[in-house]
Amino acid sequence: MLLKELSEARGVSGDEAAVREIILHAVQDTIDEHRVDALGNLICTKKARRTPGDNTPRKVMISAHMDEIGFIITGFNNDGTLRFEEVGGIDGRVLLSKQVLVGAKQVPGVIGYKPPHLMSPAERNSAPDTSKLAIDIGATSKGGAEKLVQIGDYVVFRTFFEVLDEGNLRTVKGKAFDDRAGCAVLVELLKADYPFDLYAVFTTQEEVGLRGAKVAAHAVDPDVAFALEGTICDDLPKDKDVSPVTEVGQGPVIAFADRSAIADQRLLRLLVNTAKRLNIPYQFKRAVAGGTDSGAVHLAREGVPCVTVAIATRYIHAPVSLLSLSDFDYTVQLVRESLLALEGGLE
């Protein structure tokens, strides 16, 4: 399964090469050309397969980011443990005792902290001070650690993909579904033919400021753009009757706005009308939070109509996430059919 391969690949922001190679292998028979730009974005082009109508956009860009949150090694302690900094937004409360892999050699390690027996009441009742965390790779000295790891090595969570339930939702767990799920959706979209040139852009460094998308959008200069994401989910039981942001198993998530962009109203109508016409379940993201590649793409050149479509994902920006493969399939269907409906132009 491609999603499994992508999920287990190592690709912290700035180190996306392994993910890019998997994707390029998966799309090589469905694209006409590709290039890798200076920031590492993989820009794939699928030429129009039929004559477009007068109002059909000539160039449509769909982006999904390859990078994941993680860490980078910044130094060594005398006891052989490793100092590190976060890459992307990570809540320190999810880090304690988590297994990780360090560097290209995939050196196994554990994020260490003092045991609760030795914590003060204040420490036990607050988030950990991440500056006091260290990665333990089993080395007993600074010199021993330096033989295994280098400063600047990237660190990823050691998490394996697994199918949890084969029922209607077909839930799976793994790491980096934000946004390897979007990458896998984009690979599927390239299997169809469209009445415009489709630019499938697998972007870099989204988690540290939408950097790859800024460069790619300037180069492609699209007429219309979509961003694909794995988005926040908040559907676990609550003490109060509060609407969840999104729910696993309730279909693709359409974002009308987030902290980085406001969706184009014509594209929102296109997605909703397509979903209703084909009886595809869908939901809105009921929180103006986070940011996506749309935040960079919509500002390119003279402005680009953008919208983000996502898969509801529990526990994003954490060592392990969960999503529904049924939601995945519906997302492919919704975006593909909406793209085909663009032949009539935006209304």
Note the CATH architecture for domain 2-68+175-344: 3-Layer(aba) Sandwich (3.40)
Domain range annotation of the chain: 2-68+175-344, 70-157
Whether residue 229 contacts residue 309, with contact meaning beta carbons closer than 8 Å, is answered with yes
Q: Which of 8, 206, 207, 229 is catalytic?
A: 206
Question: Quick one: pLDDT at residue 214?
Answer: 96
Instruction: Kindly state the DSSP code that residue 141 receives in the 8-state scheme.
Output: S
Q: Which two tokens stand for residue 95?
A: 């880090």
Mean of pLDDT over the chain: 93
The yes-or-no verdict on residue 196 having pLDDT over 90 is: yes
The CATH number assigned to the domain with range 70-157 reads: 2.40.30.40
The verdict on whether 123 is a catalytic residue reads no
pLDDT in tens, 59-103: 999 999 999 999 999 999 999 999 999 999 998 889 999 999 999
- What tens digit of pLDDT does each residue of 291-331 get? 899 999 999 988 999 999 999 999 999 999 999 999 999 99
The alpha helices in the chain, defined as continuous H runs, are 2-8, 17-27, 121-124, 142-146, 177-189, 211-220, 265-277, 294-297, 325-341
Please give the DSSP secondary-structure letter assigned to residue 345. -
pLDDT at 242 exceeding the cut of 70: no
- Tens digit of pLDDT for each residue in 95-114? 999 999 999 999 999 999 87
Helix (H, G, I), strand (E, B) or coil at 178: helix
Q: Are 16 and 207 in contact (CB under 8 A)?
A: no
Largest CA distance in the chain: 71
